[in-house]
Structure 1
């Protein structure tokens, strides 16, 4: 894609931040799925389940990166990301329906399936911030996924102690949404001028943060 080194590094850092913020729920799912296994099988289930989940997530994200090059999908993806950023702030997820299992195979299958379903927001956000760079996606996920798996409890504690991490993550996702919408080929004639593009992006970020934080306080 002809990205500079600074653009590649900042993009990778954005991928890592988005994945870690959105992966808190996935880390909880891993813990719930494995909590009834014997201790000697828990790590094995986590590693095997995560390996399968990583493969599916990387392949699916690369497919989404390609799909976003189709006219109209950048706009749709941006609008969906706005909703994802808002939900991240305003509506914490409920994991009560996640079952725990006594067998290794069942726990592994649960981790893979839950990650595939719950990871759709991660995939879209990462594909949006990648600017079409497969290297950025692969490197970013390669850094963030091991941290998420083996440091899952630390991530959860960090988010609990510093809720602003969620706000920053939602802001990055909202920025990515605004960038996708303003770079949609069908809207280039209207939104390409910097005097219009950047105010639109700032407006999207502000709207997401204000409404999301307000509704979080209400609930």
Structure 2
């Protein structure tokens, strides 16, 4: 049980860091016009409120996933997110700088909600209904995202393989959600070959699909 808890916790932390890299950029953009003292307040207040909102949304998602076939739908959606993560596309963030502390905090929180839906879904799937995992995962990963985002982004740019590893983590989580779906769980129960075969198929499949799509796009661009 402890091993399962630790694996799920590491999954959640990896997901938070992987899908939360843009949050630090949002914080910087939203507070860039404020005086330094207010900027620090905006960062701490905005991040604190964003964490609270993220925890609440994830807890809601955990319970919603108990509805029949939502785990299956969530797993498929997460698989699409994993695939899109690999695609080499430049996304520009359009975030307005706050004129005062209140504006900056609002921008940070609302941007986090808008950008964090994929994160919420992935964490809810990895948590398997354990709210403690959700809270611990966020408390560990959010400071890493805020203070270490530049380092994380630097390594991801320098070592693109990290993106593929991250997509593999999401695909692994997706497979877990599909296997855990109550309406089809009996199909996988007692059939380890089918169960672990699905994990391998989805992880390898997403990574290969991403590589092939990127290769095709590069050839087409030439």
Same fold (TM over 0.5): yes
- Counterparts of 1:8 and 1:93 in 2: how far apart (Å)? 35
Q: What is the match of residue 17 of structure 2?
A: 20
User: Which piece of structure 1 moves more, 140-149 or 101-110?
Assistant: 101-110
- Describe the shift of the 1:215–1:42 C-alpha distance in structure 2 as closer, same or farther (beyond 3 A): farther
Instruction: Report the CA distance between 1:93 and its aligned residue.
Output: 5.6
Determine if contact 1:25/1:93 at 8 Å carries over to the other structure.
no
**SS state of the match for residue 184, structure 2?**
helix
- Determine the C-alpha separation between the residues in 2 that align with 1:115 and 1:37: 19
Counterpart position of 1:125: 122
Residues 164-219 of structure 1 deviation map (CA, whole Å, 9 limit, x = unaligned) = 22211110110111111122121123333212121122111112111123323425
Which aligned segments of 4 or more residues in structure 1 are displaced greater than 6 angstroms? none
TM, length-normalised to structure 2: 0.91
Contact 1:29–1:95 (Cα < 8 Å) also in 2: no
Tell me the equivalent position of 2:205. Answer: 207
The question of 1:188 aligning with 2:185 is answered yes
Question: Could you tell me how far apart the structure 1 residues matched to 2:168 and 2:205 are?
Answer: 10
Task: For residues 57-86 of structure 1, give each alpha carbon's deviation from its aligned partner in whole angstroms, at most 9, with x where no partner exists.
Answer: 001111111111221111010011001101
**Is 2:35 the counterpart of 1:38?**
yes
**How far apart are the structure 2 equivalents of 1:89 and 1:25?**
15
| Paired position in structure 2 for 1:75 | 72
Provide the rounded CA distance (Å) in 2 between the counterparts of 1:24 and 1:104: 23
94-103 vs 125-134, greater mean Cα deviation: 94-103
The question of 1:54 aligning with 2:51 is answered: yes
TM-score of the two chains, using structure 1 as the length reference: 0.92
Larger deviation, residues 93-102 vs 51-60 = 93-102
Q: Secondary structure at the match of 1:185?
A: coil
Task: Give distance in 1, aligned partners of 2:166 and 2:88.
Answer: 14
CA offsets, 1:81-140, max 9 Å, x none? 001101111154623422223322111111100101111111111110112111111111
Structure 1 gaps of 5+ residues are none
Residue 159 of structure 1 corresponds to 156
What CA RMSD, in Å, does the superposition of the two structures yield over aligned residues? 1.6
Corresponding position of 2:144: 147
SS of equivalent residue, structure 1 residue 186: coil
Unaligned runs of 5+ in 2: none
Check 1:37–1:92 CA distance in 2 against 1; reply closer, same or farther (3 A cut): farther
Residue equivalent to 2:102: 105
| Segment of structure 1 superposing worse, 92-101 or 17-26 | 92-101
Change (3 A) 1:13 1:88: same
Q: 1:116 aligns with which of 113, 138, 141?
A: 113
